[in-house]
A and B are shown apart, each in its own frame.
Chain A
Amino acid sequence: MTADFSQKSGLVKLAGLTGAGAFPGISEKAVKTLETLPFPDRKTEFWKYSRLDGVKSGSFTVAGNSFSLTEPDLEAVRFGSAETDRIVLEDGRLNQQMTAIHSGSPVRMLTPDQALELFPGLADRLTGGTAAIPDYFAELGKTSFSGFLILFLPAGKVQKRPVHLISYTTGTFSQPKLLVLSGKSSELTLIEHFTGKSSAAGFTNSDVRFLTEENAVVHHVRIVDEPAESAHIGRIEAWMQTNSVWNSRVITLGGKMVRNQITARLEGEGANCRMEGVYLATGSSHAENITLIDHQKPNGTSQETFRGILGGEATGVFDGKIIVQKGAQKTFANQSNKNLLLSDQATADAKPQLEIYADDVKCYHGATVGQLDETQLFYLQSRGIGKDMARALLTHAFALDVLRGIPVPAIVTWLDHQILDRLNSPVHFGEEE
C-alpha cells in the first residue's frame, strides 16, 4: 500500500481503509473535500514559503499491522534518569507493548465514545473546519482515525511524571492523532517526541488538540527529530478555557521539511499562553512555524518567542499571527522572532503579524535576522575555545531563551546536548576550516 500525492485516486483508496466510528461520515466528507482541493502551492498565501515538492512527488509506504520496535530503538530518546510515563506510537499506531504508564499516574486513555460523553461539543470541535479556506493536509488528516489517541486528566489531578509520547516513524506515511483533555485545575506535562530511523523518505501528517478546562495547566513540549529525508506537517491547536495556562515549546531538530502549524485559541477570560519554539535547520532542510494566537476574551496574555538557527542551505520560516478579537480588552500579547544565519546560503523568511480589533490592549512584536557577533567569537577564541565550539556555544545561547523555560531539567539537558552536538561541526556553517 502506498500513498501517492501526484495521483488523487490513490489518496481516496487510502482513506477507504479506516473509518472513525465516533464521528460518522467525517472521512467520507474529507475525501469529497480533497477531491475538490488543489494541492497547495506557493501562490497560496498560507503556503507561500513552503517547500512541498518532496511530498508532492513522493510515493510513501503505508505501514501494515505489525510492530517492529524494540527497547534499544528507544534508547536514544531517553531523557537521562528522568522518570516518565511512556506512550509509544509506531507509524501512527499505538504500540501497547512499548507503552508503560505508572499505576499511580492519574492520566488515562479514553476511547472516542468515552471522550464524547465526558466533553459534549467535542465532536463539533473535531469535525468542524473552522478555517475559511480548507487546509489540504488537515482534510487529509481527517481521512483516517486509525491511531486516534485520547489522553484525559481528571479535574484537580496533577500528573507528576511527564508523559513522554514517542511517535516513531520507520519511513512510512502516517497520520498520528492525539487529543489531550485537561480537566479543571489539573496539571500536565507532555513531551511529544517525533523521531524515527529510516533511510527512506517518510511523511508524517500529525494532528494534536488540547482542551484545557478552567484553571488547568499544561506544559507541552514537542521535539521534531525525524530522519533526514522525512517530511512532517503537524497541526497543534489548543482550546483554552478561563484562566487556563498552556505553555508550548516546539523544538525542530531534524527532517527534510518540517512545518509546524501551532494555534492557541484563548476562548475563556484570563487565559495565559506561552508559545515558544526553536528551529534548527542545516543542510538542505526546511523548517517552518506557522502560528496563530487568537485572543477572544478579555484579560488574556500571550508570550510568543521563536528562535531560528539556520546553516548550510537551509531555509527557516516564521509566520506568526496574533489576533485580538473585538471585546478582548486588556489583552497583553508579545511576540518575538529572531533568526541566526550561520552560512551564506541559508535563508530566513519571517512574517510576524498583528491583527487587532480592540483598543485597550498592549501588543508588541519584534523580528530580527542577523549573524553571530564577531567580537563575541573573538572573545571566546582569545580564551582558548576553538572556533567551532565558540560558534556552537554562542548559537546555543541564542536558543536558551526558549530552552530554559522547559520545566523538566532532564529534558533541557538532553536538548542542550542535542543542539550542541549538531552545531559543533563545521559543515553546518557552510565553510571549510
Chain B
Amino acid sequence: MNEIEQFTKSEYKYGFSTDIEQELAPKGLNEDTVRFISAKKEEPEWMLEYRLKAFRHWLTLKEPGWQNVTYPGIDYQDLYYYAAPKKKPQLSSLDEVDPELLDTFAKLGIPLEEQKLLANVAVDAVFDSVSVTTTFKETLREKGVIFCSFSEAIREHPDLVKTYMGSVVPYTDNYFAALNAAVFSDGSFVYIPKGVRCPMELSTYFRINAENTGQFERTLIIADDGSYVSYLEGCTAPKRDENQLHAAVVELVACERAEIKYSTVQNWYAGDENGKGGIYNFVTKRGICKGNFSKISWTQVETGSAITWKYPSCILKGDHSVGEFYSVAVTNNAQQADTGTKMIHLGKNTRSTIVSKGISAGRGNQTYRGLVKVAKNADGARNHSQCDSLLIGDRCGAHTFPYFEISNPGARVEHEATTSKIGEDQLFYCQSRGIAAEEAVSLIVNGYCKDVFQELPMEFAMEATKLLSISLEGSVG
C-alpha cells in the first residue's frame, strides 16, 4: 500500500512568510514588556492594571506538567511578545491595505473581495496581532452587532469589556491564561444584542507570521438574551523551524435563550516529519451558558500544530442549558494532541453531548481528556459522550482519559469509547468496487468523522474534508 504512504507525506502547503516591516517589542518578558504592549496599544489605565495583575500572578505559577504531551521547555524570556505591522493611517477601504498583505491572504485562499461578494462572510483578518481590516461592519452595525478587534473594543466599548473579560476565564485560571491576560496582543470582540440573529457567519483568519512571536489573541463573544451567532475560526501559519508558542484565550457568554456556535479549523504548521518546528497550540477556550435555555456548541477540526493542548469547555449554569462538543483531531508524523472538553453541569435539566473522533497515524500520539461534572443541584442533568480513536500504523498511540464527577442521583451520564484500526474488510470491500486504496481510506475516515463534520458550516465542512485527506496522505500502509 505505497499510495497510502505517499498520502501522509504531503508537505505543508502554506509554508511561506511575508516581508512586511514589523514593529517588535524587545525580547523577553517583564513588567516593562507588559507596559510596552499596553502603551503601544494606547490602552486605558484599567487595562494596564489588569495586565500587570495577571503578570504578577503568572510569576507565582509553575508550568503545568500533567499533560500527556512532551516538548522541550519553553524559554519565556526568549520570545517576542509583541509584533505588529507598522502603524498606518486608518483605512476606509481594502484598496488602501498594503498590497503585500493582501497577497498573503490571497495565498491563504481568502481573497477578501471575493469572499465579501460570494460567501457573504465578514472576515476579520488578524495578521499576527493587530486587526488590519474588518469587512461588513456596516451591515452588522445596522443590526447592532459589534464585531471588532479587541483593542477597538477596549476603546469603544470599555463597559462591556470590563464586565465580561475574565468572567469566564479569569487570569488566575491557569498558567497560559495568566500569560495571555498579561501580554495579549489583540483578537476579536463580538457582541450580539438582545433578540438579534446575527445575519451572517462571523469569521476570523488568524495567521502567525513573525518569527519567534508568541501570538496571544483574546476572543470574547457575548450573546445577549435570545440572540444567535455562529463564529468561525480558521488558522494557517507559515513554515518555521523554531517552535512557536500560541496561547490564546477564548471566552463565550450566552445569556438567556442565546445560542453561540463556535467552529474551528486549525491547520497550523505541524513541524516536519521528525517533529522539528511546528506550532505549540496551548489554548484556553471556555463558554458559559449563563441564562436559562442557552446553548453553546464547540466544533473543532484539529489537523495542524506540533502540539495541540486545549479543552473547549462549557459551564452550564442556566437551567435547561445545552453544551455540545464535536471534535476531530488528526495527528500524523510526530504530532501530539491532548484535547477534549469539560462540561460542568450546574443548572437543572442541563444537557451535554460530547463527540470526539481521534485519528492517529505515523508516530502521532493523541489523548482525549474530558471532564463531566454534575454538581449537587443539577437535577436531571444528562450527558452522553462518545470518544472514538482510529489508529493507522503501529507506531502511533491513542489514549482516552475521561473524568466523571457526579454528585446528583438524578443525573444520567454515559460514556463510550472505542479504539480500533480501519477494518481490512471495509478496505477490501471498497477496493473490490474499484476504489483505490488511498481513496478508500479517505472515504472511510471521512465517514468516521461525519458526525462532527455535519456540525460545521458548509464551507468549513468542505475545507475540513480536504484538510483531512491532505493531513493523512501517506499514512496507511
**A interface vs B, CB < 8 Å?**
45, 326-327, 329, 339, 341-371
Contact = CB atoms under 8 A, between A and B. Distances in A.
A368 B409 CA distance: 12
A356 B414 contact: no
A350 B401 CA distance: 10
A351 B394 contact: no
Interface stretch (B88-96, B132-140, B416-424, B465-473): B416-424
Given A353-B399, A369-B406, A359 B66 contact: no
Contacts of B398: 354, 356
Given A45-B66, A349-B404, A363 B418 contact: yes
Contact of B397 (A341, A345, A353, A357): A357
Contact of A359 (B403, B411, B421): B421
Nearest to A318: B404
A326 B420 contact: no
Contact of B420 (A342, A346, A361): A361
B400 interface: yes
B408 A349 contact: no
A354 B394 contact: no
Given A45-B66, A367-B404, A344 B376 contact: yes
B314 interface: no
What's the dominant secondary structure at chain A's contact region?
strand
B413 A370 contact: yes
Nearest to B385: A367
B397 A347 contact: no
B419 A363 contact: yes
B407 interface: yes
B389 interface: yes
B87 interface: no
B85 interface: no
18 contacts: A348-B405, A350-B403, A351-B402, A352-B402, A353-B402, A354-B389, A354-B400, A355-B400, A356-B419, A358-B391, A362-B419, A363-B420, A364-B419, A365-B417, A367-B402, A369-B411, A369-B413, A371-B409
Nearest to A368: B414
A341 B411 CA distance: 9
Given A359-B421, A361-B419, A363-B418, A353 B412 contact: no
B401 A364 contact: no
B13 interface: no
B418 A347 contact: no
B410 interface: yes
What's the dominant secondary structure at chain B's contact region?
strand
B415 interface: yes
B417 A359 contact: no
B391 A359 contact: yes
B315 interface: no
B393 interface: yes
Contacts of A341: 406, 408-409, 411
Contacts of B418: 362-364
B392 interface: yes
B393 A366 contact: no
A352 B408 contact: no
Contact of B401 (A343, A349, A351): A351
A342 B406 CA distance: 12
Contacts of B396: 357, 359
A329 B421 CA distance: 11
Contact of A347 (B401, B405, B416): B405
Contacts of A366: 414-417
A284 to B, nearest CB: 14
B197 to A, nearest CB: 37
A344 B407 CA distance: 7
Given A366-B417, A367-B404, A356 B389 contact: yes
Nearest to B382: A370
Interface in B379-397: 389, 391-397
Report, nearest first, the 7 A-B pairs whose CB atoms are least far apart.
Answer: A341-B409, A359-B391, A350-B404, A369-B406, A354-B400, A363-B419, A369-B413
Interface residues of B, number: 35
B413 A326 contact: no
A368 B413 contact: yes
A346 B403 contact: no
A50 to B, nearest CB: 14
Contacts of B404: 348-351, 367, 369
Nearest to B420: A362
Nearest to B403: A351
B399 A356 contact: yes
Given A361-B419, A362-B420, A369-B411, A339 B406 contact: yes
A367 B415 contact: yes
B414 to A, nearest CB: 5
A346 B376 CA distance: 9
A69 to B, nearest CB: 40
A370 B399 contact: no
A358 B394 contact: yes
A303 B394 CA distance: 23
A352 B397 CA distance: 17
A355 B365 CA distance: 10
A358 B392 CA distance: 9
A354 B414 CA distance: 16
B384 to A, nearest CB: 10
B417 A352 contact: yes
B394 A353 contact: no
Contacts of A345: 376
Contacts of B393: 359
Contacts of A329: 394
Contacts of B411: 341, 369-370
Contacts of A352: 400, 402, 415, 417
Contacts of A364: 416-419
Contacts of A348: 404-406
A345 B389 CA distance: 35
Given A353-B402, A367-B415, A360 B394 contact: yes
Contacts of A347: 405-407
B5 to A, nearest CB: 15
Nearest to B386: A366
A387 to B, nearest CB: 16
A343 B376 CA distance: 11
Nearest to A352: B402
A353 B416 contact: no
A143 B8 CA distance: 53
A346 to B, nearest CB: 6
A343 B412 CA distance: 14
B61 to A, nearest CB: 14
A343 B409 CA distance: 6
Contacts of A346: 407, 409
B472 to A, nearest CB: 14
A362 B420 CA distance: 5
A357 B409 CA distance: 36
A343 to B, nearest CB: 6
A368 B421 contact: no
A370 B372 CA distance: 13
B383 to A, nearest CB: 9
A360 B421 contact: yes
Given A352-B400, A356-B398, A367-B413, 5 more contacts: A349-B404, A354-B400, A359-B391, A363-B419, A365-B415
Contacts of A339: 406
Interface string B369-382: 00000101000000
Nearest to A357: B397
A346 B405 CA distance: 11
Given A339-B406, A353-B400, A370 B394 contact: no
